[in-house]
Structures are given as structure tokens and as C-alpha cells.
Structure 1
Amino acid sequence: MVSTFPTGNSIEGDREALQSADRVRLEIRALQSKLVRWRRSLHQKPELGFQEVLTSQFVDEKLTAWGIEHQTQIAKTGIVATIPGNSPGPVLAIRADMDALPIQEQNEVAYKSQHKGIMHACGHDGHTAIALGTAYYLSQHRQDFSGTVKIIFQPAEEGPGGAKPMIEAGVLKNPDVDGIIGLHLWNNLPLGTIGVRQGALMAAVELFRCTIQGKGGHGAMPDQTVDAIVVTAQIINALQTIVARNINPIDSAVVTVGELHAGSAMNVIADSAKISGTVRYFNPQYEGYISQRLEEIIAGVCQSHGASYELDYWQLYPALINHHQMTELVRSVATDVVETPAGVVPECQTMGGEDMSFFLQQVPGCYFFLGSANPEKGLAYPHHHPRFDFDESVLSMGVEMFVRCVEKFCR
């Protein structure tokens, strides 16, 4: 009969692992004041995509001061830091985005944005601070992991997208990356929780603009016209049938017309109308299909009314698909980091998009959400809101997640 009780050696091993975990947590939490200071400094000087000059300079100065090898000016303002461990081994990449949004901040805080009309309203200042904290910690503890860690400070996630040009510049090469992880501070989850999901986490993002050309005329003589507004109204209604009748009901998709511009006077029938919108879906099999149906509907409605159209349709980001093995790695680490098992949230999909998806198309990886909302402190406004902010105690938790993933992957 084989004993099911642990041996003395396994008990000792468990004790050592717990002591090591406690040490890591304590050392990372000791960085909290620095993390907050870095984040607030970045928050005060937000910059739009591919314009992150001050942000990149801030990161460069920190990495240089810590003696961390890094390359700058990748895809204009991107930076990649390389931190080797104690021996050869696998290569893990960590990605953090740096850009802000064209939003006027309404928070009245000491670290309020100093750049008019620009704000870190999505948490990228926190992502950059977490990545810096991870770089600092790992550079001081190279003996705790093998292989190499590459930390990617990426520009322009909010658009037009900095991931693809960074990949094209070779950030996943020399040394070749074996896996990649990233996180997003998430005010849709409460502080102290982590959202981890295998498979599709975030949606593909596709955009369209369309001009419908009719024939204008007098509002009292519609028989002499082709009313672009009437045609466009029918198109908008018909586009909703794509999701309702063409998409498998088990899947999820969105077709949204967000803009409509037409007409110039109450008694004039418009000769043209312009619409624009977005398409979202999780299942990659719909790539190309929804765009095809959208144009077929527009063409059919226009033909039935004697109108014409010009359509521009393009994909911004593909769906973000987490790799199963990397997701299990992150989930196993999350169960050690969060205080309770309920703190790991498995179903946390969003129709929001992310260009981290381009990295995940190249190498196995996992992107996860780090709960950052604290309603009791008034820190629960949604992302992209002019009063968005988050509980900064989440910063050290983010560093701990990254560090533990490194130690588990690179061993």
C-alpha cells in the first residue's frame, strides 16, 4: 500500500516554497510607493499614440539607471528591455502599452493631467508603472529565474496600433520569444480579483465608413428625388439582421452604426448621407464574412432605390485568443496571488478590442484582467471616461503576477 501522506522532504519543500512566495510578496509590496510615484508622474504627462516621447524618455531613464539593457525608438517610441536570468532557458515576453486618449480629464487630483485634452483614461500609465516595477525587481533577482525576460513597452494601443509595427521591427526575435503575457487594469472587476480566460477574451475590431449617394431635391417633390436619408435608414435597420439572422446564436457579434450625417435644411431632400460604425466578434471564422454581408446589404438597398454607394471597410485588430497552456500558467499563478479562490474570474469576455492580439498570433500567450475598481473610494468610473481612475494598490499586485509568472515559466 502506498502512503498518501506527504514525506518529510515534500513538507520541507512546501515550506520553502511558501517562504519564498512570502519573500517575493513582501519585497514587491515594498516597491508600492515607487510604483505610485511612477504612475502619477506618467499620468500627469499623457501622450497620444506614436507621440509618447516623454513617456519613452521616462522609461529609458529608469532602465538606464538600473543597468538594464534595452533598445529605444522601436516603432517610433517603443522600448524593449532584455533581462537575462542565471542560466540559459526559455524566453518570456511581457507587454505593456504606454499611450493615452484624447480626453479632457475631469478628476481633481494632485496628479491630474497637465496636457490639455489628453488623459490616461484607460490605465496605460498603470501598465507602464507595473512593467517598470517588474523590470526593476527582476534585475535585482536574476538568480531566481533561468532564460530571458523581454519587457515590451508598446506605443499606440488605442490606435492606430503599435503592436504590429513592433513585431515587424523584430521585438519577438533575438532571442526568439517562447511565450508572452500581458495585463489590463480593469474597472469592470473589483480590486483584488483577476480575470483569466482561455480562448477568446477580447473581440476583433473592424471599422467602416460609407457614403450613400442619392438625388437631392425639393422636400415637397419627393418623386423627383432619390432620398439618401430614406435609403440610409433602411440600410441601418437591415444591417442589424447580420447578427440576428446570419451569425450563429451561440456566438456573439455586434454591428454598430455610430455616426449618421445627412441633410442641410428642413425642406430639402438630401442627395447624400454618410454613416460609419464598428463590427465586433470573437470567432475568427467570421473574419471577412461580416464585411461581405454588410456590403451585400448596402448594395442591395441602394440598388432597390436607384442610389449608389462608396464603402471603406478595414480591420483594426483581430480577436484576442489566449493560448491554453499559457492561460493555465497565469491561472495557476493567480490562485496564489489573490486572497480567495473566488478572486479568479474565469468568464470575463468583453467586446472591447486590443492589439495584444497581434502578439498572440505570433507566439503562445495569455492576456488577463487585473481588477482595479474600488467604489468605496469613488474609483469605479468606466474606461475612457473623463473621471476614470483606479485603486493604486493594484500596482504591486500586477508586479507580483508578472514576477511569479516569470519564475514559473523560466525555470
Structure 2
Amino acid sequence: MITRDQIKHLEDYVIKIRRHFHMHPEPGFQEFKTIKKVQKELESFGITDIKYACKTGIVARIKGKDNGNIIGLRADIDALMLTEENNVPYCSVNEGVMHACGHDAHTAMLLASAKYLQDNRNEINGEVVLIFQPAEEGPFPGGATKIIESGLIDDLDVIFGLHITTGEDLNIVNTKVGSFMAAPDEFTITITGEGTHASAPSTGKDPIIPLCEIVLAIQNLIPKEIPATTPAVIQTTLITTGSAHNIIPETATFGGTVRTIDQNTRIYLKTRIEEITKHISLAHRVTYNFNYEFGYDPLINNKEITEYTIKQAKDILGRENVKLLDNPIMGGEDFSFYLNNVKGSFSFIGARNIEKGLIHYNHSPKFDIDEDALLTGVLLTINNVLNYK
């Protein structure tokens, strides 16, 4: 087992390169400067097998001592369209764009891991495939599909993913065998009636009343039709209609998200939402437009590989610093698409430090991390590679 002391020399590098990426964030499929920086770093390590899977995605390889397992390691590199509110020396210089979900950290951790693995490639039992992926945050269908469709990772035997979170205390690992993260689907429904003067509603067809009834009806689907043992979420998040107090509008639109952890529930809820929309619209003599977008698939951690990563984390960090979650996380991740094709595992590592005020959750404009988590992520990554047989 590689210890923290053995990689202590990487600490300054992983912090410095993380801060560089944090200062220069780029949104999904626009990470042109980011990926060029990644390429430059890899080349400086002596890594020569570097291929572009798409315009802003790289797959690089480190050949070990023999023809053992081909091990994939993935880091997402994109940022969010968000204006940073932190006052730190490495604050984003690209206004309206921010690394608010830790992808700068993921990229830095994978680069530092690559540096170590390249320097110690004779210890690798097989080959390491480094995946620097664009657009995890979208636009849909995200960057994982681009990497997969390139054919550059068709030969993987296993894949590992690691995500920074301030939803957990520093250096505590969260993971789960089986269903770990949800499928994040979206719906948008427009009800069309007949606009008229608000003083004479009988001369038109009000779209607002059926919209309200549909919203209430679909919010009851989870408690009334989905077993309590099956995690699922339906949440209406936007409603737009009307232009004046004395006008009944012609149209009313609402939308939201549906989160599920299995395909049967996923399909069932889509069908039921459309059925409810159809029949309530019919009852009110209005028409509707139904748009439902399937997002990323549910993320299902392979049992064998997740139990392996759990053992590695416990050996490295201590049993008390590894939490096995009872329930899935209802956020989504396009790492799920890799797991549809190859066995693997995805975990979170805590970067919250209350004493330092590093408490703001991922996707907050005040998001930042305790950078001590970076070296821990590198340590976990290196051990996952070198101890996998």
C-alpha cells in the first residue's frame, strides 16, 4: 500500500494546478484552454500516448510492466455557468463561469496521480487509461457519451471515479454498492387554452387552473403510487404564464425534474405524468404539449469493484472515515454511462471544513474546498490502480 508520506512531494503540485484550473474555468464542450493545459501537463510527465476523443476530451495511456488489467480513471473538467462570490487569490477570472462542483479538483487529482503512475509505471499491473472528460454538467447528453463513442476506451476492464463534495467532512469517503445516484430527467408541459378578459372567464379557456391541477396531481404520484422503499423525487421547479392582471393568458407552462434509481420506476413516472396531463387537459377542454427529456442513467456501482474500493479506503484512511450510505444520492452523474459498459465504482470524498468556513455546498457561488482532500484523492486513486489484480 502506498502511504501519504510516499506522495507528499505531490502536494504542492496538486494544489497549484487545482488553483490554476479554478482561476480559468470553462463550461461544457468549451474547455479548449483547459484540455490544452491537461495535454501540456501529461506531456511534461513523459506520457506520449495521448489521443483526443472529442474536441475537448482526452484519453491518455500509461503502459505498465505486463499485459494485466486495463484500468480507467476519469476526471470531469468542465465548470458551471455561475458567478463566483469567493474572495481568494485563485478566484475565477472568467466572469459568469465558476468551478463550483470540484471539477478543477478532479482534474488536478488525476494529473497528480498520472505523474506518480508514470514515474512508477513498472509497478502497474497492466495499463492505466486516463480520461479527461468534458461537459459532465451538460449540455445533455454530456461528455461521457463522447468519450465512449470515440472507441478509445472499448478495452477497459474496470473504471474508477472520484468526486469532491462539501456535503461531507474532510477526507471522509462516501459510497454505496448498487444504486448510488439517480437518473435526473426533466419535463416541460405547456397548456394552451383561449385568452380573454379576466372579467369574463366564460368567454375563454383558462390554462392556469388545469396547470395547477396537474402540478398537484403529479406531486402525489410518489407518496401514492411508488413504494416507500423505492427512492424517487418529482419536483416542479418553474411556472411561467400571464402578462397582466386583467388578462387570462392563452398559454401556461411549467416544468421540473424527476429523479429515479431504476428504469422501471423511470418509465412508469413518465407514463403517469403524461396520462395525468392528458386527462386533466381533456376535462378542461384545453390542449397540451408534453416534452420529457431522459437525462443520465441511474449510476449503479458494481458490487465487486465497490467492495474493493471500500477495502482500499478503509486500509488507507481507517474504517471510521469510510461511510457506506444507506440510500442513494438523488443527484445525477454521467459516469453512469461508463458503468453501463464496464464494471467500476464511483465514490465521494469530503472536503468540508467548518473551522475554515468551507461549508458551502456544491453548485453554490461560494463553493470552495479544503485542499487537504486533494492529496487524499490522489492517494486513493493510486492505490486503487496499484492494488487491483
1:66-85 CA distance string (max 9 Å, x none): 11134343222001110111
Equivalent residues of 2:185, 2:295 under 8 A apart: yes
Query: Could you say which residue in structure 2 is the equivalent of 1:166?
Result: 147
1:1-16 aligned at under 5 Å gives the runs none
Residue 210 of structure 2, aligned match among 212, 231, 241: 231
**RMSD (Å), alpha carbons:** 1.1
Secondary structure (helix, strand or coil) at the match of 2:29 reads: coil
1:116-174 CA distance string (max 9 Å, x none): 1000000000000000011000001112121101010000000121001110111322x
Q: Does residue 152 of structure 2 align to residue 177 of structure 1?
A: no
Secondary structure (helix, strand or coil) at the match of 1:86 reads: coil
* Pairwise CA distance, 1:366: 0.2
1:81-100 aligned at under 5 Å gives the runs 81-100=60-79
* Pairwise CA distance, 1:284: 2.6
Secondary structure (helix, strand or coil) at the match of 2:358 reads: coil
Distance 2:116 2:216 in 1: 54
Equivalent residues of 2:238, 2:254 under 8 A apart: yes
1:257-296 aligned at under 5 Å gives the runs 257-296=236-275
Q: Does residue 280 of structure 2 align to residue 301 of structure 1?
A: yes
Query: Could you say which residue in structure 2 is the equivalent of 1:127?
Result: 106
Query: Could you say which residue in structure 2 is the equivalent of 1:107?
Result: 86
Q: TM-score of the superposition, structure 1-length normalised?
A: 0.92
Secondary structure (helix, strand or coil) at the match of 1:186 reads: strand
Secondary structure (helix, strand or coil) at the match of 2:306 reads: helix
Distance 1:307 1:244 in 2: 28
Distance 2:348 2:122 in 1: 29
**Identical pairs, percent:** 39
Q: Does residue 327 of structure 2 align to residue 327 of structure 1?
A: no
1:210-263 CA distance string (max 9 Å, x none): 111011111111111211111111111011122122212110111111110001
Query: Could you say which residue in structure 1 is the equivalent of 2:342?
Result: 363
Q: Does residue 282 of structure 2 align to residue 314 of structure 1?
A: no
Distance 1:207 1:101 in 2: 19
Query: Could you say which residue in structure 1 is the equivalent of 2:14?
Result: 35
Query: Could you say which residue in structure 2 is the equivalent of 1:342?
Result: 320
Equivalent residues of 2:52, 2:59 under 8 A apart: no
Return 343-352 or 144-153, whichever deviates more: 343-352
Distance 1:260 1:149 in 2: 48
Distance 2:344 2:270 in 1: 28
Equivalent residues of 1:101, 1:121 under 8 A apart: yes
Q: Does residue 53 of structure 2 align to residue 58 of structure 1?
A: no
AA partner of residue 261 (structure 1): T
Secondary structure (helix, strand or coil) at the match of 1:21 reads: coil
Equivalent residues of 1:49, 1:99 under 8 A apart: yes
Equivalent residues of 1:60, 1:72 under 8 A apart: no
Secondary structure (helix, strand or coil) at the match of 2:387 reads: helix
AA partner of residue 168 (structure 1): E
* Pairwise CA distance, 1:323: 0.2
Secondary structure (helix, strand or coil) at the match of 2:291 reads: strand
AA partner of residue 332 (structure 1): K
Q: Does residue 364 of structure 2 align to residue 385 of structure 1?
A: yes
Equivalent residues of 1:201, 1:321 under 8 A apart: yes
AA partner of residue 185 (structure 2): E
Distance 1:230 1:302 in 2: 10
* Pairwise CA distance, 1:408: 1.4
Q: Does residue 177 of structure 2 align to residue 207 of structure 1?
A: no
AA partner of residue 151 (structure 2): G
Secondary structure (helix, strand or coil) at the match of 2:340 reads: helix
Distance 2:50 2:15 in 1: 25
Distance 2:28 2:101 in 1: 13
1:311-339 CA distance string (max 9 Å, x none): 1111110100000001011001000121x
Query: Could you say which residue in structure 1 is the equivalent of 2:374?
Result: 395
AA partner of residue 367 (structure 1): F
* Pairwise CA distance, 1:287: 2.8
Secondary structure (helix, strand or coil) at the match of 2:214 reads: helix
Equivalent residues of 2:169, 2:352 under 8 A apart: yes
Question: Can you give the 5+ residue segments of structure 1 that lack an aligned partner in the other structure?
Answer: 1-19
Equivalent residues of 2:27, 2:80 under 8 A apart: yes
Secondary structure (helix, strand or coil) at the match of 1:316 reads: coil
AA partner of residue 25 (structure 2): P
Q: TM-score of the superposition, structure 2-length normalised?
A: 0.97
1:175-214 CA distance string (max 9 Å, x none): x100101010011110021012101111001111111101
Secondary structure (helix, strand or coil) at the match of 1:285 reads: helix
Distance 1:55 1:337 in 2: 31
Distance 1:76 1:193 in 2: 35
1:19-65 CA distance string (max 9 Å, x none): x534xx21312211100000000000000000001110110001111
Distance 2:265 2:46 in 1: 47
Distance 1:372 1:77 in 2: 27
